[in-house]
A and B are shown apart, each in its own frame.
Chain A
Amino acid sequence: MMELVCPAGTPAALRAAVDAGAHTIYCGFADETNARNFPGLNFSREELAQGVDYAHRRGAKVLVAINTFPRAGAEGLWHRAVADAETADVDAVILADLGLLAHAAEHHPDLRRHLSVQAAAANPDAINFYATAFGVRRVVLPRVLTVAEITAINREIDVETEVFVFGGLCVMAEGRCSLSSYITGKSPNMNGVCSPPSHVQYVETKGALDARLGGYTIQRNAKDEPAPYPTLCKGCFQSGDMTGHVFEDPSSLDAKDLIPALAKAGVTALKIEGRQRSRAYVAQVVRSFRTAVEAVAAGRPVPPGTLASLTEGQAATTGAYRKTWR
Chain B
Amino acid sequence: MSDIHTPFPTVPSLLAKPLSFVPLAPIAQALTVLARRLVTRHPGLISRLGPYVDSSFAIAPTDLPVTLLLRPHPTAMRITLHRDPPRADARIAGPLSALLGLVHGTWDGDALFFSRDLVIDGDTSAALALRNAIDDCELDLGAEIAGLSGPFGRLLMPFIDLAERRTGMPLRRAEARP
Contact of B125 among A196, A309, A310 (CB under 8 A): A196
Please, which residue of chain B has its CB at the minimum distance from the CB of A19? B175
Is A60 part of the contact surface with B, judged by Cβ < 8 Å?
no
Distance between A168 CB and nearest chain B CB, rounded to angstroms: 9
Contact of A227 among B4, B116, B121 (CB under 8 A): B116
Is B156 part of the contact surface with A, judged by Cβ < 8 Å?
no
Is A13 part of the contact surface with B, judged by Cβ < 8 Å?
yes
CB atoms of A228 and B114 under 8 A apart: yes
Instruction: Report the bound CA distance from A277 to B175 in whole Å.
Output: 17
- Among B106, B108, B119, B129, max chain A CB count under 10 A is at B108
Query: With a CB–CB cut-off of 8 A, which chain A residues contact B136?
Result: 10-13, 40, 279
Q: Is the interface of A mostly helix, strand, loop or mixed?
A: mixed
Instruction: Report the bound CA distance from A229 to B125 in whole Å.
Output: 12
CB atoms of A226 and B115 under 8 A apart: yes
Contact of B114 among A38, A41, A313 (CB under 8 A): A313
Instruction: Report the bound CA distance from A10 to B129 in whole Å.
Output: 12
CB atoms of A10 and B121 under 8 A apart: no
Distance between B54 CB and nearest chain A CB, rounded to angstroms: 14
CB atoms of A278 and B124 under 8 A apart: no
Would A38 and B128 be within 8 Å (CB), given that A278-B110, A280-B108 are in contact? yes
CB atoms of B128 and A312 under 8 A apart: no
Interface-forming stretch among B12-20, B30-38, B45-53, B56-64? B45-53
Q: Between A and B, how many residue pairs show CB distances below 8 Å?
A: 114
CB atoms of B105 and A279 under 8 A apart: yes
Q: How many residues on the B side are at the interface (Cβ–Cβ under 8 A)?
A: 39
Contact with A along B118-138 (1 / 0, CB 8 A): 011100111011111101111
CB atoms of B106 and A39 under 8 A apart: no
Is A146 part of the contact surface with B, judged by Cβ < 8 Å?
no
Contact of A38 among B5, B49, B108, B132 (CB under 8 A): B132
Would A310 and B129 be within 8 Å (CB), given that A10-B136, A227-B113, A279-B135 are in contact? no
Is A224 part of the contact surface with B, judged by Cβ < 8 Å?
yes
Contact of B135 among A10, A197, A198, A226 (CB under 8 A): A10
Query: With a CB–CB cut-off of 8 A, which chain B residues contact A200?
Result: 124-125
CB atoms of A202 and B133 under 8 A apart: no
Is B1 part of the contact surface with A, judged by Cβ < 8 Å?
yes
Query: With a CB–CB cut-off of 8 A, which chain B residues contact A223?
Result: 116
Please, which residue of chain A has its CB at the minimum distance from the CB of B117? A227
Is B3 part of the contact surface with A, judged by Cβ < 8 Å?
yes
Would A224 and B110 be within 8 Å (CB), given that A40-B132, A198-B125 are in contact? no
Please, which residue of chain A has its CB at the minimum distance from the CB of B6? A309
Is B174 part of the contact surface with A, judged by Cβ < 8 Å?
yes
CB atoms of B124 and A40 under 8 A apart: no
Instruction: Report the bound CA distance from A226 to B117 in whole Å.
Output: 10
Would A280 and B128 be within 8 Å (CB), given that A202-B119, A227-B114, A311-B114 are in contact? no
CB atoms of A40 and B108 under 8 A apart: no
Is B111 part of the contact surface with A, judged by Cβ < 8 Å?
yes
CB atoms of A39 and B121 under 8 A apart: no
Instruction: Report the bound CA distance from A283 to B3 in whole Å.
Output: 13
Contact of B124 among A201, A281, A284 (CB under 8 A): A201
CB atoms of A309 and B5 under 8 A apart: yes
Is A135 part of the contact surface with B, judged by Cβ < 8 Å?
no
Instruction: Report the bound CA distance from A12 to B139 in whole Å.
Output: 11
Would A39 and B105 be within 8 Å (CB), given that A280-B174, A309-B3 are in contact? no
Query: With a CB–CB cut-off of 8 A, which chain B residues contact A39?
Result: 50-52, 125-126, 128-129, 132
Instruction: Report the bound CA distance from A307 to B51 in whole Å.
Output: 34
CB atoms of B49 and A40 under 8 A apart: yes
Query: With a CB–CB cut-off of 8 A, which chain A residues contact B124?
Result: 197-198, 200-202
CB atoms of A40 and B131 under 8 A apart: yes
- The 8 closest A-B CB pairs, nearest first, are A40-B132, A40-B129, A39-B129, A10-B136, A281-B108, A280-B1, A200-B124, A197-B125
Excluding A39-B126, A197-B128, 13 further A-B contacts by CB distance (< 8 Å) are A9-B132, A10-B136, A39-B50, A40-B130, A197-B125, A226-B115, A278-B135, A279-B136, A280-B1, A309-B5, A310-B110, A310-B111, A314-B114
Can you report 20 A-B residue pairs in the complex whose CB atoms are below 8 A from each other?
A: A12-B138, A39-B125, A39-B126, A40-B52, A196-B125, A202-B120, A204-B121, A223-B116, A224-B116, A226-B114, A226-B115, A226-B116, A276-B110, A278-B108, A280-B135, A281-B1, A283-B1, A283-B105, A284-B1, A311-B114
